[in-house]
Amino acid sequence: MKAPQQVAIVDAHQHFWDPRRVEYPWLAPKFPELNKHFGFEDLSPHLAAVGVGATVLVQSADNWADTEFMFSVAGAHEQVAGVVAWVPLDEPERAAVLLDELSRRERFCGVRNLIHDREDPDWVLRPEVLEGLGLLESAGVPFDYVAVLPRHLEHVPTLCERFPRLRLVIDHLGKPPLGSGELGPWRSLIARAASSTNVFAKVSGLYPEPGRPVPASTQDLRPVLEHALAVFGPDRLMFGSDWPICELAGGYRAVATTLLTLFSELDGRERQALVSGTAVMFYGLRLAGQEAEEAAKPTGGMKTGLANDLTRERQ
């Protein structure tokens, strides 16, 4: 008799893109090998091979075309359990209108902007961006935070103080410098970021060569994971593949297997949190095939009249 099946693994960070339909200004200059269409048909065999049953699809461009493209793919594939969309945080009035629209979409689960592609490392602290983040806090919408530079991580405590109810997840653990032997500054910054219980992190996108994905070994990853567990705990960490960028780092199966091998060293409850529980809770996911009672969605507090409310506040 087979043992009861565990909750499927959730990949909390993957992308789809199609340069024929969406403009990705960063893609061709940074990753010319990946400047082509990547769809669900390309990802599906990898999910099956690794045992991933659900994914969170994360925005790849700061434009509405990318968001519409993501929802079109998600609507055709139930394995896509959530979509982290885009709204222009630096245009609060327009962001409010788009949040109203997104609040009506079943799999909407968060917002992200490509902060790391901005020339200004302090962009997230601009008054208009802070106003946009205030909209997310009021609506109960989680925020995916791309922290590539140390300066980005430095801003996390400031944001937490300004928005104490905003749930924030740091993508790719804030890009620790794997293999450099200089983890000290990252250790301090990520520990400060983790001091707020509303801050989570993704164990994803971890590559040892700055600016260029190459395979990471368990030896590279173990000290980073151990520190992340020490400061966040398993209930604020979630697994992600960073596909298709991880195709340049050995491929989906190699990257996922390396991380899952490390997770297997943890006890059952800790591993379950990392591979599914944290992502399901943080994003309010409903997994395909689950016979679960209605769960509280992160967007449940969003008012359908959010744009009108914002306008009234400014009058």
pLDDT in tens, 165-179: 999 999 999 999 997
Instruction: Please indicate, yes or no, if residue 26 is contained in any of the structural domains.
Output: yes
Q: Is 234 exposed, middle or buried (0-12, 13-18, 19+ CB in 10 A)?
A: buried
Amino acid 296: pLDDT: 41
Is 2 domain-assigned?
no
pLDDT value for 298: 44
pLDDT of 301 higher than 70: no
Range(s) of the domain holding residue 96: 9-314
Tell me if 13 is assigned to some domain: yes
Which distant-in-sequence residues (6+ apart) come within 8 Å of 27 by Cβ? 17, 19, 34, 35, 60
Residue 4 lies in a domain: no
Annotate 119-138 with DSSP letters as a single string: S-TTGGGSHHHHHHHHHHHH
183 close to 151: Cβ distance less than 8 angstroms = no
CA distance 222 to 227: 9
Give residue 215's pLDDT band: very low, low, confident or very high (50, 70, 90). Answer: confident
Q: How far apart are CA 130 and CA 91, in angstroms?
A: 10
What is the rounded distance in angstroms from the CA atom of residue 101 to the CA atom of residue 159? 25
pLDDT at 303 over 90: no
Q: What is the pLDDT of residues 77-108, one digit of tens each?
A: 999 999 999 999 999 999 999 999 999 999 99
Q: Does residue 114 belong to any structural domain of this protein?
A: yes
Check: CB of residue 69 under 8 Å from CB of residue 22: yes
Kind of pairing between the strands at 108-112 and 199-203: unpaired
HSE, side-chain direction, 13 A CA sphere, residue 118: 18
Question: 32-81: per-residue pLDDT in tens?
Answer: 999 999 999 999 999 999 999 999 999 999 999 999 999 999 999 999 99
Q: Is residue 3 part of a domain?
A: no
- Give the tokens for residue 208: 């040892």
Percentages helix, strand, coil for the chain (3-state, rounded to 5) are 45, 15, 40
Which pLDDT value is given to residue 213? Answer: 82
Give the least confident one: 121-125, 265-269, 300-304. 300-304
Question: What angle separates helix 127-139 from helix 92-102, to the nearest 10 degrees?
Answer: 20
Angstrom distance (rounded) from CA 120 to CA 117: 9
- CATH of residue 130's domain is 3.20.20.140
Tell whether 165 is covered by a domain. Answer: yes
- DSSP designation for 8: P
Q: Are 216 and 256 in contact (CB under 8 A)?
A: no
Instruction: Count structural domains, the chain.
Output: 1
In a domain, 47, yes or no: yes
Q: What percent of the chain has pLDDT over 90?
A: 84
Per-residue model confidence as pLDDT tens digits over 270-296: 999 999 999 999 999 998 766 444 444
In one-letter notation, the amino acid at residue 265 is: E
pLDDT at 210: 74
CA distance readout (Å), 76 to 40, 48, 72, 73, 262: 9, 17, 7, 5, 33
Copy the structure tokens of residue 310: 């914002």
* Threshold 0.85, pTM exceeds: yes
Q: In this predicted model, what pLDDT tens digit does every residue of 235-264 receive, in sequence order?
A: 999 999 999 999 999 999 999 999 999 999
